[in-house]
Amino acid sequence: GAHGPVRQMPAGERRRGRRGRQADMNEDRGDQSLPITTVCIAGIPTHHTAESFRQQLDSWGLMGTYNLFYMPAESYMGIGTAFVNFIDPTFASLCQMLFQQYQFEGSVTPFHIQGLENNIAHWNQFVIPGDALNAPLIIPTPTPSQWAVNGVNTM
Greater confidence (11 vs 138) lies with 138
Q: Please, where are the H alpha helices in 9-140?
A: 50-57, 74-77, 89-101, 116-124
- Is the Cβ–Cβ distance between 122 and 40 less than 8 Å? no
Q: What is the pLDDT of residues 72-131, one digit of tens each?
A: 876 445 568 999 999 999 999 999 999 999 989 889 999 999 999 999 999 988 888 777
Q: Which CATH class is domain 38-153?
A: alpha beta
- pLDDT at position 29, please? 45
Q: How far apart are CA 116 and CA 133, in angstroms?
A: 19
For the chain, which residues make up each domain, given as ranges? 38-153
Q: What is the pLDDT of residues 18-31, one digit of tens each?
A: 344 444 554 444 45
Enter the pTM of the model: 0.75
- Is the Cβ–Cβ distance between 61 and 147 less than 8 Å? yes
